[in-house]
Amino acid sequence: MTRGDLLKERYKLDAPLGRGGMAEVWRAIDERLGRPVAIKVLANPIAAQPENLVRFFTEAQQLARISHPNVVRVLDFGDADGAPFLVMEFVPGGSVADLTGEPMDPDRAARLVENAARGAAAAHAIDLIHRDIKPANILLDEDGTPKLADFGIAMGSGQEKLTATGTAIGSPQYISPEQASGRPVVPASDVYSLGVVLYELVSGRRPFEADSAMALAIAHVEKEPPPLDVPGIDPELVAIVMRSLEKDPERRFTDGGQLAEALSGSMPAFVPPPVTSVDLGGTDEIAATAAPTRRGRGRAAFVAIAAAAIAIVLLGAFVFGRGVQEERVAAAPRAPGSRHARHEARHSPRPTTSARPVSPASPTTRPSASPTTANQRNTRTVNSRDRSKDQVRTQPQSSPSPQPTATATSQPTSDPSPSSSP
């Protein structure tokens, strides 16, 4: 292809925009509508392979299904002298690749990737996975609006693969671990690539560098990305980047929509993992299935320890309060006739009184209440007998019972005033 060539008697090639392994991109003029367009022409050696030809026209079909301001629109496609071409809207602002190499303002980087993620979410909504997101495929409009482009290797989750089983496809610097190991891709695979782009924009470097594509693929699968140490960066943005770069797709944001919401501040960087019921030995135990961030795991452990401590304190306060209440109740005086007094009167044991055993010989004899009373009674008897001039000496009564008596023995008493003899 050369400048001035007319494709489909409508599109006049103006200037080359770029060249890749499969195709070259030209700026052209749509002479029918008088507007600039971008034309992607598949290279002849590549077009001779049926697999590449199918993939090329798959891009046209996939892009035609998406209508979103953050996705490049497909306008037409055709064939010129055996060279298939794709006509797309012209995006004049270059690409995000032109902005790499130096650290970017974190807020600006977040806004760029947020818009690219919204474009990816539009593809994910129709079950389409890009599989090759990188700075060169995020184009910029004249006002700086990002537009996701180059869906040439995009594939639906249920679509038949166009590459051999186990073959990694995508750019090695931005490829997800599951792509690098030949495993099935999911929307979170595009989230990983967007995370690599965001890491590169805010730090000025990619998380992994190597001398070969194989070494890069191994790094994405096995190595942890270096800490994102950027002066003044928001810790929430760091958490978003590191969560996007999780090795396990289930630990990342599920799709471009979730990533975009996190970058816009509509949702936190940490989302509580789903809780499932796990059968452990016949009992249902609750277990968390994911721990997206280190800070999230630390926060969950702190909450669990705090809850256990609060439960112990509350239990101790309850036991202590119960004991104090019982002591107060036991020590409180009972008002006469109250419910507690009546209850205690009914259930408390009655005191035992020692009564004077009744002698069989004198069944009518009553036990004396005290020695003093007995003495007074004996004194009266003596006085009466003195008046009848019959002195009597009172002897202690003896009981035929062999058991001892509780009655005091009265001794002879003398009248305090001497009686006159007759």
Catalytic annotation, residues: 132
Residue corresponding to tokens 């978003």: 240
Look at residues 270, 208, 261 and name the one whose alpha carbon lies nearest to residue 239: 270
**CA-to-CA separations, 286 to 248, 279, 283, 312, in angstroms, rounded:** 22, 9, 10, 21
- Three-point CA angle 386, 387, 389, nearest 5°: 60
Q: Hey, CA dihedral for 177, 292, 132, 154, is it positive or negative?
A: positive
At 11, list the tokens: 């599109």
Cα of 149 vs its chain's centroid, Å: 36
Distance, in Å, from the CA atom of 117 to the CA atom of 364, rounded to the nearest integer, reads 114
In three-state form (DSSP H/G/I as H, E/B as E, the rest C), the secondary structure along 351-409 is CCCCCCCCCCCCCCCCCCCCHHHHHHHHHHHHHHHHHCCCCCCCCCCCCCCCCCCCCCC
CA atoms lying within 13 Å on the CB side of residue 180? 22
Q: List all residues 6 or more positions away from 380 whose beta carbon is below 8 Å from its beta carbon.
A: none
3-state secondary structure of 113: helix
β-strand partners of 19: 24
Distance, in Å, from the CA atom of 305 to the CA atom of 311, rounded to the nearest integer, reads 10
CA atoms lying within 13 Å on the CB side of residue 197? 32
Q: Hey, CA dihedral for 225, 226, 232, 235, is it positive or negative?
A: positive
**Residue ranges of the alpha helices (H) in 181-227?**
187-203, 213-222
Q: Which helix (H) or strand (E) holds 279?
A: strand 275-280
Look at residues 376, 373, 415, 359 and name the one whose alpha carbon lies nearest to residue 392: 415
Under 8 Å between Cβ of 199 and 104:
no
